[in-house]
Amino acid sequence: MRGPEEKKLTPSAGGRKKKQPEKKAHSMRTELSGIVIFIIAIALIVIGLANAFLLTPFYRVNKQKKIEACYRKINALSDASALTNEILTISVQDNISVTIVDSDFQSIVATTSDAERNTMRLFGYYTGFYSDSVHVIEKKHNYVIQETTDSRIHTSYLEMWGQLSSGDYFLLQTPLESLSSATRLTNLFYIAAGSVVIIVAAVAISFVMKRYTKPIVQLTDLSKRMANLDFDARYKGKETNEIGDLGRSFNKMSDELEKSISDLKAANVELQKDNEKKTQIDEMRKEFLNNVSHELKTPIALIQGYAEGLTDGVADDEESRDFYCGVILDEAKKMNLMVRRLLTLNQLEFGNDPVVMDRFDIVQLISGIISGMQLMISENGAEVSFPYNQPVYVWGDEFKIEEVMNNYLLNAIQHCEGEKRIEVTLDQDENHLVTVSVFNTGKPIPEEDIGRVFEKFYKVDKAHTRSKGGSGLGLSIVKAIIDGHGQKCGARNYDNGVSFWFTIEGKV
């Protein structure tokens, strides 16, 4: 298919406009690969820094926790000399040498071959004559935790010494291996391993990204061809993931666009059928005139008949004359009401009575209408329920919405049967759309009629409507008003009655 013709640039005072060169887009493959490699590098650096600065403190804290746990186990033994084997087990498990002496510093338990030297060390701690460097980490009432360096063999130890609950003295000692060289070696390993990981990851990511970005590149090319109205372009990938779904959506969109253009061309053909539409409008006009003439025929005949009766002297007494005049006046009022409603409906349908949007309280409006109709409600033995007293603000033409509510309530009162119960309800959804419903008990509307009750002059029960003075225009006016507000209205059957509803925009 040919694309649209390019528009020619018009010359201006500064000469011809130059087309700005398109900015070269960054490759998604390059960007994603760089981001992933950067994240891996940051993770390796964080691990290396944690190893360099946190490994040694972590090791020392762990050693201190083990030596404290060892102390608690030994202190819980009632007789250290009788439980030498258990102490040896504890010592071997945690690599802690245990020395226990009595109050005279005579050896009770020693798990190291250098028991005499450790006894002297313990004696030196108590007398204060120990000469090696000591760094006290924690000092409690019964024990001291410290770090010492043996000057004889240049080895650091974590020690705990003090007095057991049995009164014996103890010395717990565990060696602190040199971590500085181990940390440096570990960091070198991380640097070497990290470099290899980054190189391997770069190659693997480049391969993976190429595989995953290839269909995206195809989709980009497809979108450009579609922008030029080339609807023969198709995405041919077989992926079952979101990219595949996107490609298939592109194909569907291409089909829909092509169909839409075809529909537009078909619409041009439809414009040639205006003559048929004019014929339909003429038929509608004829139907409207027939309906009007049919509705006016009955009251005119009644008026004519009773007027002739008065003229001929048929009603020779005052009571009969009053009855004849009453019928004439009643029918004249019905004709006047129907003509006014026709004029109102005509103005609404042709837009001669524009909607004036105001903010008003629909609860107050409905309450006022119900109060005004209270006498009619009582005469019909009906009961109206409207359980709302808090304001509900809506946007609309207050006078026209009042006309809608008047029609709905009059309709409900006239057709209320059985329990003679009328319920008016409001319901507001999350989009601030208010639905007003008027329900009355009685006979449901036949299903074949419920879809036509808003048509002009349509009556479900013609005899009943006539007796109540209805013309079949009230609900048509309702629909015209609601359509003018851009909202919806309708009727819904229930087992015990009928509900008429409409929507209106609530306060935002």
One-character DSSP codes across 26-79: PPHHHHHHHHHHHHHHHHHHHHHHHHHHHHHHHHHHHHHHHHHHHHHHHHH-S-
Cα distance between residue 303 and residue 330, in whole Å: 9
pLDDT at site 79: 67
Cα distance between residue 251 and residue 246, in whole Å: 9
Question: What residues pair up with 99 in beta bridges, in sequence order?
Answer: 110, 171
pTM over 0.85: no
Answer yes or no: are the C-beta atoms of 419 and 441 closer than 8 Å. yes
Cα distance between residue 173 and residue 132, in whole Å: 15
Cα–Cα nearest to 433, from 482, 400, 491: 482
Query: Residue 386 corresponds to which amino acid?
Result: F
Q: Which residues of 158-176 are buried (b: 16+ CB within 10 A; e: fewer)?
A: bbbbbebeeebbbbbbbeb
Beta strand 433-441 pairing with 393-396: unpaired
Cα distance between residue 340 and residue 129, in whole Å: 122
Cα distance between residue 491 and residue 454, in whole Å: 9
pLDDT at site 426: 94
Cα–Cα nearest to 417, from 382, 445, 386: 382
Alpha carbon 137 to its chain centroid, in Å, reads 56
Mean pLDDT per 10-residue section of the chain, whose length is 508 residues? 40 44 57 77 78 75 86 78 74 83 84 81 80 79 85 77 87 73 70 80 77 72 72 67 72 74 76 68 57 60 69 70 73 64 59 77 92 89 92 89 89 90 92 92 87 72 48 77 89 92 85
Cα–Cα nearest to 505, from 487, 481, 491: 487
Task: Count CB neighbours of 424 within 10 A.
Answer: 23
Cα distance between residue 183 and residue 179, in whole Å: 6
pLDDT at site 126: 82
| Sequential DSSP letters for 286-325 | HHHHHHHHHHHHHHHHHHHHHHHHHHTT---SHHHHHHHH
Does residue 382 sit in helix, strand or coil?
coil
Answer yes or no: are the C-beta atoms of 98 and 70 closer than 8 Å. yes
- Count Cβ atoms within 10 A of the Cβ of residue 215 and give its class: 0-12 exposed, 13-18 middle, 19 or more buried: buried
Cα–Cα nearest to 425, from 318, 330, 495, 499: 499
Cα distance between residue 66 and residue 87, in whole Å: 14
> Which residue spans within 209-364 are E strands per DSSP?
358-361
Provide φ and ψ at 465, rounded to 5°.
-65, -40
pLDDT at site 342: 60
Cα–Cα nearest to 160, from 108, 103, 91: 91
Q: What is the DSSP letter of 82?
A: G
Answer yes or no: are the C-beta atoms of 119 and 107 closer than 8 Å. yes
Radius of gyration, alpha carbons of the chain: 49
Cα distance between residue 248 and residue 239, in whole Å: 10
For residue 508, the surrounding DSSP H or E stretch is: none
